């Protein structure tokens, strides 16, 4: 679980709810009509903007924001060093037998063992990275658009509430509920945008950046294995992707077994 994401949402909701309790009754902030306008309108417009499969993929990705820890680039470096040791001892062809959950790493090892040139390997793997960026951009854009739509529907709900209020000025008892709908829809739209949709989009973007870094480590590691096959050289090259204070020394790395 990503503790930072979990704490961010929980602390944000807790502070807002606490402020509401301190200032009055939380029931005053519950309005079904306003929730229908903002929630339903945002979802409907999102489905109109994107394909259903993209919206579904976005919500699945949002789940992983909370449930999956981000990958450590040091692990990718350690994996490539392990593959370097393996290729030095048993030859490049041995890399074709590697079993890994990473399709990208499997493809890199296959290209190396097939005797592909550096240009071919780099072009093939860069295409994979570019495709991943495009796929992830669409997922992020779903939440960016929802972050734009929800305040807009909040404002739309405010206008609906004001029209209802003005049309019933002769009935003082109806002014309160209509005004509540007018104000609460704006509150709901702003809350959903600033506390959920835009932060999730930002978190997904940061995850994409980290994933791209890991893939670039694998790419450069594959090229380094093909060029020199020297674990120390591979480490020095790949560790450059990681901030110096976060780098693990080559002797302290936990080489994950990828060929079992």
In a domain, 129, yes or no: yes
In a domain, 110, yes or no: yes
pLDDT 10s digits, 177-202: 777 778 889 999 999 999 899 999 99
Q: Give residue 217's pLDDT band: very low, low, confident or very high (50, 70, 90).
A: very high
Query: Which of 173 and 249 is assigned the larger pLDDT?
Result: 249
CA gyration radius, the chain? 26
Of the spans 13-22, 47-56, 64-73, 230-239, which averages the highest pLDDT? 47-56
Q: Give residue 4's pLDDT band: very low, low, confident or very high (50, 70, 90).
A: confident
In a domain, 9, yes or no: no
pLDDT at 258 > cutoff 50? no
CB 252 within 8 A of CB 143: no
Average pLDDT for 55-84 = 86
In a domain, 156, yes or no: yes
Structural domains of the chain, count = 1
pLDDT at 225 > cutoff 80? yes
In a domain, 24, yes or no: no
In a domain, 26, yes or no: no
185/138 Cα distance (integer angstroms)? 27
pLDDT at 13 > cutoff 70? yes
Query: Given this model, what pLDDT does residue 252 score?
Result: 59
In a domain, 259, yes or no: no
3-state secondary structure of 257: coil
Shortest CA distance to 75 belongs to which of 225, 245, 204, 241? Answer: 241
Query: Given this model, what pLDDT does residue 254 score?
Result: 52
In a domain, 17, yes or no: no
Q: Give residue 260's pLDDT band: very low, low, confident or very high (50, 70, 90).
A: very low
Angle between helices 172-192 and 118-167 (to 10 degrees): 170
Query: Given this model, what pLDDT does residue 169 score?
Result: 77
Q: Is the full-model pTM beyond 0.85?
A: no
Q: Give residue 99's pLDDT band: very low, low, confident or very high (50, 70, 90).
A: confident
Query: Given this model, what pLDDT does residue 24 score?
Result: 72
Chain centroid offset of residue 155 CA: 28
Query: Given this model, what pLDDT does residue 154 score?
Result: 93
CB 235 within 8 A of CB 184: no
How high is the mean pLDDT of the chain?
Answer: 86
Q: What domain range includes position 241?
A: 31-252
């Amino acid at each position: 679980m990503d503790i930072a994401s979990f704490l961010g949402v929980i602390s944000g909701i807790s502070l807002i709810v606490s402020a509401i309790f301190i200032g009055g009754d939380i029931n005053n902030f519950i309005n079904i009509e306003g929730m229908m306008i903002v929630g339903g309108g945002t979802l409907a417009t999102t489905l109109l903007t994107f394909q259903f499969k993209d919206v579904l993929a976005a919500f699945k990705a949002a789940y992983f924001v909370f449930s999956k820890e981000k990958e450590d680039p040091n692990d990718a470096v350690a994996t490539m060093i392990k593959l370097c040791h393996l290729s030095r001892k048993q030859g490049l062809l041995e890399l074709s037998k590697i079993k890994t959950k990473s399709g990208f790493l499997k493809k890199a090892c296959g290209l190396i063992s097939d005797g592909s040139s550096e240009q071919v390997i780099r072009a093939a793997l860069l295409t994979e990275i570019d495709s991943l960026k495009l796929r992830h951009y669409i997922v992020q854009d779903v939440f960016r658009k929802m972050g734009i739509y929800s305040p807009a529907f909040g404002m739309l709900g405010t206008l609906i509430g004001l029209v209802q209020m003005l049309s019933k000025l002769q009935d003082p008892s109806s002014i309160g509920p209509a005004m509540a709908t007018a104000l609460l829809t704006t509150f709901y739209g702003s809350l959903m945008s600033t506390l959920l949709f835009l932060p999730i989009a930002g978190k997904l973007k940061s995850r994409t950046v980290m994933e791209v870094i890991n893939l670039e480590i694998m790419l450069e590691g594959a090229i380094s294995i093909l060029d020199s096959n020297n674990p120390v050289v591979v480490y020095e090259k790949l560790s450059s992707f990681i901030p110096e204070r976060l780098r693990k020394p080559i002797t302290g790395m936990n080489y994950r077994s990828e060929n079992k």
